[in-house]
Structure 1
Amino acid sequence: MTVLVFGRTGQVATELRRLAPEAVFLGRDRADLMDPAACAALIRTHAPGAVINAAAWTAVDKAETEEAAATIVNGEAPGAMARACAELDIPLVHISTDYVFDGAGTAPFAPDHPTAPLGAYGRSKLAGEQAVRAAGGAHVILRTSWVFSAHGNNFLKTMLRLGREREALSVVADQIGGPTPARAIAEACLRIARALQDDPGKSGTYHVSGAPDVSWADFAREIMAQAGLTCTITDIPSSAYPTPARRPHNSRLECSDLAAFDLERPDWKTAIGIVLSELGAER
């Protein structure tokens, strides 16, 4: 199966390149998500066996002032991809986010829970989900949360840098979610893409996030512990760390439907150790 991947240098796309080097990867130099029609044309040109959209506008705070652009990248471009895939009978796997929910309560959000994004980024991602569904082709929308890896910018790498520089850090403790290794998302995307080729009836919306659910502060403590850093983590509320975009307090995702693809929630504690080993090898 030939797989066409939108994205090349992001966290998930980097892991996809490792797992499926034979796939065709379209970075920003080849696929401009600000030009949805061009993205659709690339699918028609390559006519792959499956498409994975691992590219997105991920600058959550910047989206608050540039929502129109974020909506083209996260909303209109996936819609154009999905319509091209539907025309050619090609399955599409599209990565989305916990930010489509309002973060209320403490129960994990099921895939069919009503959406109510808190900000521009969440609205742009929700627009993409809606457009992918409306195209009518075989698809899976795979929502995830708190992605980390040895690549790019992410919370784990930020904590490592600050933990080496400082004796103490204050980290938000009232936001709870599942840190998710990028490699697990990439593995899920590939398995789902293959499954959709065999059984388009598995189309729908699914969740994948790391287990167990945890606060950002406790996630930071585990990073420090595994890295052998003595930096002390102090809990603070979200109100003490204001950002332009509101973050969900509850990012827990119900992931049991992953069993349809013989997948389980990844263990983020184990994944931290793997990422730290990889970062150590890079130094």
Structure 2
Amino acid sequence: MPKKNIYLILLSLGTALWGISFSVTKLAVQESSLYIFLFYRFSLATVILCACFYKYFKETSSESLLGGVKLALPLTAGIMLQTLGLKYLPASQCTFIAGICVVMVPVLKWGVYKMSVSAKIWIASLVALAGLCIISVSDTFTINQGAIYTILGTFGFSMYLILVEKQATKGNIITTVVPMFAACTVLSLCFAVTEPAGSWVPANNNFWMAVIYCAVFTTAFMYTVSMMAQKYIPAERVAIIYLFEPVFGAIAAFFILNEDLSWRLFIGGGLILAATFVAELNIKNMGFRKGIRTNKIS
């Protein structure tokens, strides 16, 4: 089986794991410090990855170290902001808002790297924006601060996807995995120490179960697979594979957190899913995809 197809399967599996992680994380940070939670999550993931990729240490160069740090900045910001959003917003809503990265990636490529974007992507962006407004804006026309945090986190994650694609063209992406998560650990530690009231050893089983689940499945496994996959799959296609993450996330929130699936979630989430389908239907002919093959990001 071609490597591209193998990574497509692994990414699809990871999408389900990722969707479930929103509910698992919400249980962990409801009564505990999210920064301490992220510190443990990244620390354990780094240890696991060191054990898995130790043979690549001798291939790690200063460029790999620097590349890992550069990737860690938007990734840490994205995860941190989305986790913060979970404190104020239902997990089911967070998963759908996070889904707008599908249309955000190509739009950011257009804005940052001047790559052309087809009309369908702009239409998809408007449809996704409409869905986002239905989910995020209340009857009194106010926006929950959790929605703002999640949107900003999605922006950070979208930038991370684009930078991973850029880094993958420079050499062996595996050598940047451990430095990236080590940098994420340090960054989260810097925030964790600013919370003097936070408990470093919470007496909460949900906290430790979430640390293990997120470190193993959604951090060490999923982010490594997504990074390696982008050597064979463009960033916007990777984002589209994440299409069903909100679906798994909403189902998990219903069963794990007993969250109500409101009409806003169904209509707004449906529009966001429709927007991603619009992007997927046109992906083989989109101008920005063509640009990826002809224009190297510098």
TM-score normalised over the length of structure 1: 0.32
Higher relative contact order (CA 8 A, sep 6+): 2
TM-score normalised by the chain length of structure 2: 0.31
